[in-house]
Amino acid sequence: MMSWESGDLGDIDTSGVDVAEGFGALGVPAVLVAALERGGVTQPFPIQAATIPDAMSGRDVLGRGRTGSGKTLGFGLPMLTRIAAAESAGGAVRGLVLVPTRELALQVADVLSPLARAMGESLTLVAGGMAYGPQLRAFERGVDVVVATPGRLIDLMEQGAVDLSQVLTTVLDEADHMADLGFMPAVTTVLDAVPSDGQRLLFSATLDGAVHTLVKRYLHDPVTREVDSDRASVTTMEHQLLHCAPHDKNPVTAQVANRGGRTLVFVRTQMGANRVSEQLRAAGVMAGPLHGGLTQGARTRMLSAFKEGSVPVLVATDVAARGIHVDDISLVLQVDPPMNSKDYLHRAGRTARAGERGIVATIVLPHQRKQVQRLVQQAGVRVEPLLVRPGEERLIDATGAKPIDSEPIAQSDFEALIAPKRPARNQYRSGSRQRGGRPDRGGNQGGRGKQGGYGRGGSR
């Protein structure tokens, strides 16, 4: 069962805040500026500078920026500020953030919950795979901000547990991914339940198809802010096409994965994710799979191990990887080429985040060359292919690959890293098990508490 605990920064000192600089100059209150500075965040990213003033004024905003551009604070800071300035709603929800996946919901909640507490506001997380009890009790007590996946939120709405009639600001994060996953009917159900004159903030990497329809139907005279195009123009991102012979594919994959730093490996199927991660561990590289066939608890633990570095290589499918928001993934390795240019860009967006440098490397077999060359051109990538073999200098120079010199990793050692944490003994209160940490003001509790959450390893 997935659990979560709100972060808390403690007392915030605003005496040294300069409201004429950085976030303060955008209209962000001093207490939030001080809270950000405590987490090492002092200067806004381009998407934040572009969207915060308009969102602060109450306008609907259509924000377009690639994953990792800082959208969470771009919508979170104005939402928390406007809620604090509004009259009390008697415990009803006043801020709502809809996201497509449980993993993203966790990360958005981790970023915003300590900031909400600094403003005297309660925030709760609503997602599938979590116990209903804490969520229901949170709404009984009253919640200011809800971060939710559409399915579980509608479930609670149908139970009569959630009141959305007082929502001031509704955020749709990664709207294009919600469309890809078929969530648009659920999204429209939620948008029909919030006040029609409320503020809407929609953030997406692309603005076509179902997202465009959503904008036309629900946003009121939105101001559009774009900081990245839908092509691969990020200057801190390097692209490599690694042409190799079929019999060299597995050793090339292992040597690239054996590099230093976090590596995200893309495959096309769940079976492929299991197979490649097993092959890498057999080669002495600690790697684990992430895909929809795993339980939510297993996915959460795997992603946590990846963030912490105990499993530095994650082998993921496209759908599962859309929930990965980690700032320091330094290389994306595509073992299976993407289906199209849009998927290429989504995969590439996992690296070169938050201004860091990153490499996107694609292994290309002879029969895939024309297909891959066509889709990278459509993605706006200009790169000369490299013909590589295991252990060659050009492979090392291009990716940081390292020869394999480790013993195979035992399955028991891998399982020990991702096993469920055993609860501490004698931690029972009122007949229910406490899983570490005190209840937050939104009513959830568990073992994912953070002191902040908007620095490295999170999503700004």
Q: Which amino acid is at 405?
A: D
Judge whether residue 434 has pLDDT over 80: no
- Say what the pLDDT of residue 207 is: 77
Q: Which amino acid is at 145?
A: V
Judge whether residue 53 has pLDDT over 60: yes
Helix (H) or strand (E) holding 98: strand 95-98
Of the two residues 392 and 8, the one the predictor is more confident about is 392
Q: Give all domains of the chain, ordered by start, each with its CATH number.
A: 22-230+427-433 (3.40.50.300), 237-418 (3.40.50.300)
**Cα 61 to Cα 64: distance, rounded to the nearest angstrom:** 10
**Cα 182 to Cα 16: distance, rounded to the nearest angstrom:** 47
Task: Tell me the two tokens of residue 392.
Answer: 């060659």
pTM of the model: 0.67
DSSP string spanning 220-288?
Answer: SSPEEEESS-SS---TTEEEEEEE--GGGHHHHHHHHHTSSSEEEEE-SSHHHHHHHHHHHHHTT--EE
Contacts for 348 with CB less than 8 Å, ≥ 6 apart? 232, 234, 237, 239, 332, 360, 379
Judge whether residue 235 has pLDDT over 70: no
User: Tens of pLDDT along 175-208?
Assistant: 988 988 889 999 999 999 999 999 999 998 777 7
Q: In what order do the strands lie in the sheet with 61-64?
A: 123-126, 145-148, 95-98, 169-173, 199-204, 61-64, 223-226
- Say what the pLDDT of residue 87 is: 84
- Say what the pLDDT of residue 69 is: 63
3-state class of 149 per DSSP?
coil
- Say what the pLDDT of residue 455 is: 39
Judge whether residue 430 has pLDDT over 90: no
Please state, for a pLDDT cut of 90, what percent of the chain lies above it: 59
Task: Report the pLDDT averaged over residues 266-270.
Answer: 94
- Say what the pLDDT of residue 451 is: 36
Judge whether residue 221 has pLDDT over 70: yes
Judge whether residue 449 has pLDDT over 70: no
Query: CB of 346 within 8 A of CB of 202?
Result: no
- Say what the pLDDT of residue 354 is: 63
pLDDT band (50, 70, 90) for residue 460: low
Going through 365-455 in order, the beta strands assigned E by DSSP cover 386-387, 428-429, 432-433
- Say what the pLDDT of residue 382 is: 87
Of the two residues 102 and 187, the one the predictor is more confident about is 187
Judge whether residue 458 has pLDDT over 60: no
Helix (H) or strand (E) holding 95: strand 95-98
pLDDT band (50, 70, 90) for residue 436: very low
User: Tens of pLDDT along 127-182?
Assistant: 988 889 999 999 999 999 999 999 999 999 999 999 999 999 999 998 988 988 88
pLDDT band (50, 70, 90) for residue 357: confident
Query: CB of 166 within 8 A of CB of 40?
Result: no
Judge whether residue 450 has pLDDT over 50: no
Mark out the alpha helices in 311-456 (DSSP H runs).
318-321, 341-348, 369-378, 393-399, 411-418
Of the two residues 106 and 442, the one the predictor is more confident about is 106
**Cα 42 to Cα 193: distance, rounded to the nearest angstrom:** 37
- Identify the bridge partners of residue 368 per DSSP, sorted by sequence position: none
Which range among 151-160, 201-210, 365-374, 417-426 shows the weakest confidence by mean pLDDT? 417-426
Judge whether residue 445 has pLDDT over 50: no
- Say what the pLDDT of residue 66 is: 61
Give me the chain's average pLDDT, please. Answer: 85
- Say what the pLDDT of residue 323 is: 64
Contacts for 138 with CB less than 8 Å, ≥ 6 apart? 122, 124, 442, 443, 444
Task: Report the pLDDT averaged over residues 47-59.
Answer: 93
Query: CB of 257 within 8 A of CB of 289?
Result: no
pLDDT band (50, 70, 90) for residue 378: confident
Task: Report the pLDDT averaged over residues 259-270.
Answer: 94
Judge whether residue 444 has pLDDT over 50: no
Judge whether residue 448 has pLDDT over 50: no
- Say what the pLDDT of residue 427 is: 39
Radius of gyration for the chain, computed over Cα atoms and rounded to the nearest angstrom: 22
